[in-house]
C-alpha cells in the first residue's frame, strides 16, 4: 500500500486492535441541525472523550469546530453531499476535493455512492476520480456504499450489500462502509467478497442501547473492521458513555451485556 496511506490509516484505526470506531457528524447538510447536532462542538468533544478513533465531517465543520476539539480522534472529511429537500436525495455530489481536504488536515476522505440510484453513473465516475487523486496524495479513501434507488426494495439484502461492497473495493476504496445485514453469517459473506476492510454503519436510531450493541457485536463477530455510528451516538443522552460501550465491544470483544454494565 501507498506509504502515505499506511501512515494515515494508523490515525483512524487503533494500532493495537487494527479496528476502528468512527463517529460521523456529517448529517447537518442532509438533515439540518437535528437533535444532537445543534451544538456540534459538544458532541465532537463527547465522542473524542469516549474514545472514537475518527470523526467524519464536512469541511466547514473542520474550520469552525474541529480546530478547537481535542485531537485524539482522526479526521475524515466527507466529500459528498445532498439534502433531504432535494428532488433526488440519493444523488450525492462532490462539494470538496481530496486536495482541499488534505490542506485542512484530513487523515482520510470519504465519498458516498448509492448503487441503484438514477445518478449511479455520475457518482461512480466521481468516486473513481477521487480514488485517483487520493492515490497521488497518499490519502486514504473511505467509500460509503449503499443499495438505494427506486428499484431497491430492501437495502439490507445480503446479496445487494455484498455487491455494493465489491463495487467499492474495485473502484479503489481503501475502506468500505455499508449497512449491516442483520446477522453475522450473511455479513461474513459480504466481508469475504470485499478485498478491503468493511465497517458497519449504525443506521437509524435504535429503540434501545442493547439493540445497537447487539448489532455491533454481530458485525464484529462476522469480521468487521469496525463501525461508524452517528445518530445512535450524537442523539444519545450520554454520547461519551455510548462511545465507550461501543469501543469496548469493538476493541476488547466484550459482550453487549457486559458493555451495558459500563457506567462511566
Active site residues: 26, 146, 177
Residue 182: burial class (beta carbons within 10 Å; 0-12, 13-18, 19+): middle
How far apart (Å, rounded) are the C-alpha atoms in residues 74 and 58?
14
Tally Cβ neighbours within 10 Å of residue 237.
Answer: 8
How far apart (Å, rounded) are the C-alpha atoms in residues 33 and 165?
30
CB 231 within 8 A of CB 201: no
Measured between alpha carbons, how far apart are the two ends of the chain, in Å?
39
Question: Quick one: which of 218, 221, 180 has its CA closest to 199?
Answer: 180
Residue 87: burial class (beta carbons within 10 Å; 0-12, 13-18, 19+): exposed
Which ranges of 20-144 would DSSP assign to H, the alpha helix?
A: 28-31, 40-50, 59-64, 98-103, 120-137
Amino acid at each position: 500500500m501507498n506509504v502515505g496511506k499506511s501512515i494515515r490509516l494508523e490515525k483512524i484505526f487503533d494500532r493495537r486492535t487494527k479496528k476502528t470506531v468512527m463517529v460521523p457528524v456529517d448529517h447537518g447538510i442532509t438533515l439540518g441541525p437535528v437533535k444532537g447536532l445543534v451544538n456540534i462542538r459538544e458532541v465532537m468533544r463527547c465522542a473524542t472523550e469516549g474514545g472514537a478513533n475518527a470523526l467524519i465531517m464536512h469541511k466547514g465543520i473542520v474550520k469552525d469546530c474541529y480546530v478547537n476539539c481535542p485531537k485524539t480522534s482522526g479526521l475524515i472529511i466527507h466529500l459528498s453531499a445532498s439534502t433531504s429537500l432535494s428532488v433526488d436525495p440519493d444523488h450525492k455530489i462532490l462539494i470538496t476535493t481530496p486536495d482541499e481536504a488534505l490542506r485542512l488536515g484530513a487523515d482520510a476522505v470519504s465519498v458516498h455512492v448509492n448503487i441503484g440510484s438514477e445518478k449511479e453513473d455520475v457518482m461512480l465516475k466521481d468516486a473513481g476520480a477521487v480514488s485517483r487523486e487520493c492515490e497521488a496524495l497518499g490519502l486514504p479513501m473511505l467509500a460509503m456504499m449503499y443499495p438505494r434507488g427506486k428499484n431497491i426494495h430492501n437495502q439490507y439484502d445480503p446479496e445487494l450489500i455484498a455487491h455494493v461492497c465489491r463495487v467499492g473495493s474495485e473502484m479503489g476504496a481503501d475502506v468500505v462502509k455499508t449497512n449491516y445485514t442483520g446477522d453475522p453469517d450473511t455479513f461474513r459473506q459480504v466481508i469475504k467478497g470485499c478485498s478491503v476492510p468493511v465497517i458497519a454503519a449504525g443506521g437509524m436510531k435504535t429503540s434501545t442501547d442493547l439493540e445497537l450493541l447487539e448489532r455491533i457485536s454481530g458485525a464484529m463477530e462476522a469480521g468487521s473492521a469496525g463501525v461508524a455510528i452517528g445518530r445512535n451516538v450524537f442523539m444519545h443522552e450520554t454520547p461519551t458513555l455510548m462511545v465507550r460501550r461501543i469501543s469496548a465491544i469493538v476493541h476488547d470483544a466484550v459482550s453487549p451485556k457486559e458493555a451495558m454494565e459500563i457506567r462511566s
